[in-house]
Structure 1
Amino acid sequence: MPVKSPDSLSSARSKLTKTDRSFFQAPLTRLCCSIAVVAWLTVGSAWAESKQTQPNVVIVITDDQGYGDLSCHGNPILKTPQLDRLHSESVRLTDYHVAPTCSPTRAAFLTGHWTNRTGVWHTIMGRSMLRENEVTMGDVFSDAGYRTGMFGKWHLGDNFPYRPEDRGFQEVMRHGGGGVGQTPDVWDNAYFDGAYWHNSQITPVKGFCTDVFFDYATKFIRDSAEKKEPFLAYIATNAPHGPMHSPEEFSKPYVDQKENLANFYGMIANIDQNVGELRELLDELNISDNTIFIFTTDNGTSSGSKVFNDGMRGAKGSEYDGGHRVPFFVHWPEQGLDDGRDVDMITSYVDVLPTLIEMCGLTAPEKVKFDGVDISTLIQGGATEWPDRILVTDSQRVKDPIKWRKSAVMTDQWRLCNGKELYDINKDPGQKTNVAEQHPKVVARLTDFYDQWWDELLPTFKQSTAIHLGNPADNPARLTSHDWITTRMTPWNQSQVRAAMNGDANTGFWNVNITKPGTYEFRLRRWPTEIDKTISTAIPAGSGVPGARAFRETPGKAVSAVRANLRIAGKKQSAPLTPDQKEVSFKLKFAAPQTTKLWAEFQTKKDEIFGAYFVYVEYLGQ
């Protein structure tokens, strides 16, 4: 569309009200463009000009902690004094929305793109890997000369080119998959004294997982400050995601609750202490004033909704507000963002990256059009008017997206859920009364926006991500059943792998990219190399840890396989098994690079099929 002059844009904005801003009730592309132009003309480069040096950025994003899982928001049981203090000294986005589950939120948060655009609409099945063409927050800050660190939960791919170390983060300490003890993680990890990937190398650690991730972040921040280099520290805790394990000193105050809830709250209390200690470090290093400190979470509560959910309907996974409206605090004393102020306009995870680019005075990546907008004027308090935005979130959790599935089309006032239910969120924050019949024009407007949004994204759904084979940065590549593509459930955690996941949900394929011609070795294993056991071996249950039952406490069932089968790129290989084999190896030569499907399976005497839960693929040369 033609770009409006500053005068005409100013005039248009001055006539807008919160519930009737007709200028912005346009197609999706025009809407996003208009909002971005308004924000840019309002702010210009004020943030960059007003600061003396580039600010540091610290982001703490927790897992499965909802809006109501904070004492500052009214929780009657949980105590979070450090986060309460941060809340009192921050600008708070009170109507901030993410996806209802883990990976989708992280994809949009780190790219500024709708999660379904990035290829990440599930947490498993190859649908949690962030597409190669996406530019991440790590890329943007690294290109701008920042030191970049990622600590904790990534959940956007465990193989090249999807790992954080491949996506602009220079210092990385992370677990595998979507949580400690999930299938891609180091074998037998269980929140305490485990091992994680430090800059791609498995590194043993001591202590509780959250403490470890904050400790590594602390070292990174201290080192950056000593070198007087600006930094981005992205601290993404796996806590308080289940299984529910907490250091006993933190769960003890909640022993009168059920075990899972006591440990859920204990994990949050531990995060709270770590946040307080991290802020003390910033003070000690004399960098707190010029550090943008953000606290937020990745979706609605998994465990606390029955205690306190701020009156919202739904929890993790839900299309209702309880599934995706979460806390967002931003603290930056040097720019006056320490006055305990609320921003009530609707905002979203896709806004975070474009906003940080503006606040830090960075150059936006070329040829990237964000789905979010710069909301720095809202945060600063300089926006007296703001467009009546329309935002979309959904919870797909299927192999291929389904239109309207568990969706919410949102404005400041309205929520259209599943394309059928309309709620006036200002009058009915609990979303109890469907008023769709009383407001057909609102339903039509939100439906029209969603239809355009869906049609724009629909062609991208076929762009499946593929794990690279043969890249020197990840050779051999370690493939796990977490990333099987299937219409059924995958063995996504180590308990399911141990149990051999009885039933027919025991195979799938990996989408892989053979990156160069030559010979590749495929090693099919029942157990990962960390435990060096034969395919037919049944392994004992592992030890427990404080809290709920650990994944490793499930006894390991043997797979009585007699044959191994491999299919890839039209090639088929098969070999008999003996009881003493730990793995079966196949070597195949490929004449050209290609993207294809990889099936790796074990077969029993009864012709039962079990997928190889772990496959190691190594490029051997021409």
Structure 2
Amino acid sequence: MPNLSRFSLAVAVIAVVFAAHAVADRPNVIVIMSDDQGGGDYGFVGNEVIRTPQLDAMHARSGYLSNFYVSPVCAPTRASLMTGRYNYRTRCVDTYVGRAMMDTDEITMAELLRDAGYRTGIYGKWHMGDNYPLRAMDQGFQDSLVHRGGGIGQPSDPIGAEGKYTDPTLFKNGEEVQMKGYCTDIYFDAAMDFIGESVKQDQSFFTYIATNAPHGPFDDVPPELYEEYREVDFTPILVNKIALKRRDQEFDKLARIAAMITNIDQNVGRLFQKLDDLDISENTIVIYLNDNGPNSNRFVGDMRGMKTHVDDGGIRSPLLFHWPAKVAADRTSAEFCAHIDILPTILDACDVDVPADHLIDGRSFLPLLTEVDPPWPTRQVAFQSHRGDVPQLYNHFAFHEDHWKLVHPSGFGKEQIDGPPRFQLYDLSQDPRQENDLADSKPELTQRLVKAYEAWFADVSSTRPENYAPPRIVIGTDHEPESVLTRQDWRHAKGKPWAAGSNGFWLLQNPKAGDYTIEVILAAGDHPAGRATVKAGGTSATIPIAADQQRGHTTTIQLGEGELKLQVDVDFGGQTQGPHQVILTRN
């Protein structure tokens, strides 16, 4: 019996040691995603103007997916990346006015890795909800330094810090903080501090660096790089000829975009140096991609299209996968892969299981980079995004089956399509620029793919009851005692969503009835005296609005328990509009 006890103890010790080694052997993970950098904005894909020497070097020593797809706009890509699921399953269907909030029932990459023992941190852009329980810090990230909304320079900016890429006001684990430096540099600095602290704690980490560059506005860019690019001739990367009178304007915009991209590139170099200094480069996965096509009609290789387009130039990105411990340098695959594949690939590499009853739409592409001739069955993948509260069948979609592309490019800005759909069919293996429409000459193939798309649309649209109803902001909790409500997450009701005379409302959940202080904030600038009427759950209150005063318009209002619709109508002499922001604080 004593011998058996000693044997059992020895087995237990061996098991603990083995588990410790297994944890220690797990790779660290860094995902870097730029915002509005197109698939052609890299030297290694043939761009001769925009300088990306660090990414070119990363490409030379990394695995590379040359046939990788994303969504045509940013928030849908982010939802798919974080969940491994089509964004239409997640309630994140657009980029603003409450349509970019992701359902909190979704299981994120950060939650899965955190629960597997990883430290998790996000730096930069989240874009799937600015209030509890939708924030990155509520969805698995233990450390976060982010901006609000879809980018700096939008109505979600903190008051007094609008549009500041240099010395921005960001949010550190929910708290507003004034930062020093250029935003992209700040994100990488914070990420490297997080990585260094993780190594010090001998803990594996997942770091998500999501820059808001090179997204506009373009007036605040790295000055030295901008001055260098002002002397550059951008003609080689222009897709269309432009009138001479517009040439200087377009070149200046491209100089600003290029400066932001090269600044990101420089930070990628700094990051790899940090990994080398910490002696963790060998077993750290570093992934680099962009979130959609370019934010101007510029070089996209042998494709056509730009941001918001479902043509290939609007939904393609290089995917660099740097993992020296397992992936040989310059290992390339041209198999069809997409954003929904990143989560299962990372979990595969980290030996983390997905809950058995949880649906993942993607598949791990790790075998493509680590095995010789791995099986890769034919697959069908869909991409669809357009304006509107509810996605519409056939509206602005692309449906891929390997090299076949069925597309209906009806326009991202249209909530409804005009008339019956006119499908296009392309063989991308022969026609990457999509110049030879085969829909009429291959009617059986076209109809088969249309039926498959219809089945996909029906499936993703029935993921949950009221599939496209937006999540609600939960107010009055210790997680977020003060809720700043902005036009980013309101439901649009009148006028152009972010225009001066527009209005909207917020859908809220109040866990407990009680009194709240409400402050109505107006956009900066002159305005006459007026009054604001606050309506919520059968309760209303009126607040005097002082002329030319942006803040300080407050009152106390009692809000009942449960679901609420909060609307504020600001009346200036019979002209009614919505507020710029509203702050709710539980008393």
TM score, norm. by length of structure 2: 0.87
Contact 2:39–2:294 (8 Å) recurs in 1? yes
Per the TM alignment, residue 61 of structure 1 is displaced from its structure 2 partner at its CA by 0.5
**CA distance 1:406–1:580, change in 2 (3 Å):** closer
Q: Pairwise mapping of residues 172-321 of structure 1 onto structure 2 (< 5 A)? A: 172-186=144-158, 187-244=161-218, 245-255=220-230, 256=232, 257=234, 258-303=251-296, 305-306=297-298, 308-321=299-312
Are residues 1:449 and 2:439 paired?
Answer: no
Determine the C-alpha separation between the residues in 1 that align with 2:493 and 2:63.
43
Structure 1 residue aligned with 2:472 = 466
Amino acid at match of 1:166: D
Shift in CA distance, 409/86, structure 1 to aligned 2, threshold 3 Å:
same
Letter in 1 for 2:368: L
Q: Distance in 2 between matches of 1:201 and 1:287?
A: 31
Matched residue, 1:611? 578
Deviation at 1:482, TM superposition (A): 2.1
- Alpha-carbon distance in 2 for matches of 1:347, 1:109: 12
Q: Is 2:569 the partner of 1:601?
A: yes
Equivalent position of 2:8 in the other structure: none
How far is 1:519 from its partner?
A: 2.2
Structure-2 change in CA distance of 1:612 and 1:250 (3 Å): same
Matched, 1:334 2:325: yes
For residue 403 of structure 1, give the secondary structure of its aligned residue in structure 2. Answer: coil
Find the partner of 1:516 among 506, 512, 517.
512
Match of 2:537 in 1: 569
Secondary structure in structure 2 of the residue aligned to 1:445: helix
Name which of 49, 52, 65 aligns with 1:77.
Answer: 49
Contact 1:477 1:618 (8 Å CA) reproduced = yes
Displacement of 1:79 in angstroms is 1.6
CA distance in 1, matches of 2:198, 2:436: 52
Matched-pair contact (CA < 8 Å) for 1:183–1:491:
no
Q: Is 1:589 matched with 2:558?
A: yes
Q: What secondary structure does 1:431 align onto?
A: coil
Q: Distance in 1 between matches of 2:196 and 2:495?
A: 43
Is the 2:527–2:548 Cα contact (8 Å) retained in structure 1?
no
Q: Which amino acid aligns with 1:287?
A: I
Distance 1:560 1:365, change over 3 A: farther
**In the aligned structure 1, how far is the partner of 2:222 from the partner of 2:140?**
33
Aligned to 2:369: 379
Q: How far 1:218 moved relative to its partner?
A: 0.8
Give 1:464 shift.
1.7
C-alpha contact (below 8 Å) 1:121/1:401 kept by paired residues: yes
Quote the Cα distance in structure 2 between the aligned partners of 1:407 and 1:295. 25
Measured in 1, the distance between the counterparts of 2:142 and 2:106 equals 17
| CA displacement at 1:576 relative to structure 2 | 4.1
- Which position in structure 1 is the counterpart of 2:386? 396
Hey, what's the Cα distance between the residues in 2 that align with 1:476 and 1:135? Answer: 26
SS in 2 for 1:436: coil
Aligned-partner SS, 2:565: strand
Q: 1:574 to 1:204 in 2, by over 3 A?
A: closer
The structural deviation recorded for 1:285 is 0.6
Aligned mates of 2:495, 2:380 — CA distance in 1? 33
* Deviation of the 1:572 alpha carbon: 2.8
Amino acid at match of 1:212: I
Question: Which string of whole-angstrom CA distances, capped at 9 and with x for unpartnered residues, describes residues 470-495 of structure 1?
Answer: 12111110001222212666555xxx
Work out the CA distance in 1 between the residues paired with 2:435 and 2:380: 21
Write the distance in 2 (CA, Å) between the matches of 1:479 and 1:402.
28
Residues 284 and 561 (structure 1), Cα distance of their counterparts in 2 relative to 1, 3 Å cut? same
What pairs up with 1:356-375 in 2 under 5 angstroms?
356-375=346-365
SS state of the match for residue 364, structure 1? Answer: coil
Distance in 2 (CA, whole Å) between partners of 1:49 and 1:431 is 51
Cα distance in structure 1, aligned partners of 2:508 and 2:151: 23
2:488 matched residue in structure 1: 482
Query: Aligned-pair distance for 1:404?
Result: 1.6
Aligned with 1:203: secondary structure? strand
CA distance in 2, matches of 1:351, 1:386: 13
Query: Which of 135, 160, 164 is the matching residue for 2:107?
Result: 135
SS at match of 2:379: coil
Provide the rounded CA distance (Å) in 2 between the counterparts of 1:447 and 1:111: 26
Q: 1:159 aligns with which of 131, 134, 137?
A: 131
- Distance, in Å, in 2 between the alignment partners of 1:338 and 1:491 is 48
Cα distance between partner residues in 1 of 2:357 and 2:374:
31
Tell me the secondary structure at the aligned position of residue 523 of structure 1.
strand
Over the aligned positions, Cα root-mean-square deviation in angstroms equals 2.0
Q: Which SS does the other structure have where 2:491 is aligned? A: coil
Contact 1:66 1:327 in 2 (8 A): no
Q: Residue 432 of structure 1: which of 432, 435, 459 is its match?
A: 435
Tell me the distance in 1 between the aligned counterparts of 2:373 and 2:191.
Answer: 34
Task: Give the whole-Å Cα distance in 2 for the aligned partners of 1:192 and 1:280.
Answer: 24
Runs of at least 5 residues in structure 1 that lack an aligned partner in the other structure? 1-47, 493-500, 528-555
Tell me the SS of whatever aligns to 1:573: strand
After TM superposition, the structure 1 stretch with the greater mean CA deviation from structure 2, 399-408 or 482-491, is 482-491
Q: CA deviation at 1:394?
A: 1.3
Change (3 A) 1:233 1:378: same
CA gap 1:397/1:442 in 2 versus in 1, 3 angstroms: same
Deviations 1:147-183 (A, max 9, x none): 1110011111111111111111111111111111222
Indicate the residue corresponding to 2:503 in structure 1.
Answer: 507
| Cα distance in 1 for residues equivalent to 2:450 and 2:48 | 39
Change in CA separation of 1:314 and 1:407 when aligned onto 2, cut-off 3 Å = same
**AA in 1 matched with 2:432:** P
Task: Tell me how far apart the structure 2 counterparts of residues 101 and 363 of structure 1 sit (CA, whole Å).
Answer: 29
CA distance in 1, matches of 2:493, 2:445: 36
Question: Would the aligned equivalents of 2:527 and 2:547 in 1 still touch at CA under 8 Å?
Answer: no
Structure 2's unaligned 5+ residue stretches are 1-19, 235-250, 409-420
1:153 and 1:238 in contact (8 A); partners too: yes
Cα distance, 1:53 vs. partner? 0.9
Tell me which amino acid in the other structure corresponds to 2:304.
R
Shift in Å, 1:366: 5.0
What pairs with 1:552-563 in structure 2 (closer than 5 Å)? Answer: 556-563=524-531
Deviation at 1:220, TM superposition (A): 0.6
Q: CA deviation at 1:98?
A: 0.9
- Structure 2 distance, partners of 1:490, 1:174, is 27
Q: Is the 8 A contact 1:125 1:490 kept in 2?
A: no
Q: Distance in 2 between matches of 1:97 and 1:578?
A: 51
The offset of 1:202, in angstroms, is: 1.4
Name the SS of the counterpart of 1:312 in structure 2. coil
| Correspondence list, 1:20-59, <5 A | 53-59=25-31
For residues 31-52 of structure 1, what are the alpha-carbon distances to aligned partners after superposition, in whole Å with 9 as ceiling and x for unaligned?
xxxxxxxxxxxxxxxxx99996
Q: Note if contact 1:312-1:429 (Cα within 8 Å) is conserved in structure 2.
A: yes
* Percent identical: 36
Alignment length (residue pairs): 530
- 2:341 matched to 1:351? yes
How many Å apart are 1:591 and its aligned residue?
A: 4.4
Cross-structure match for 2:241: none
Q: Which amino acid aligns with 1:253?
A: E
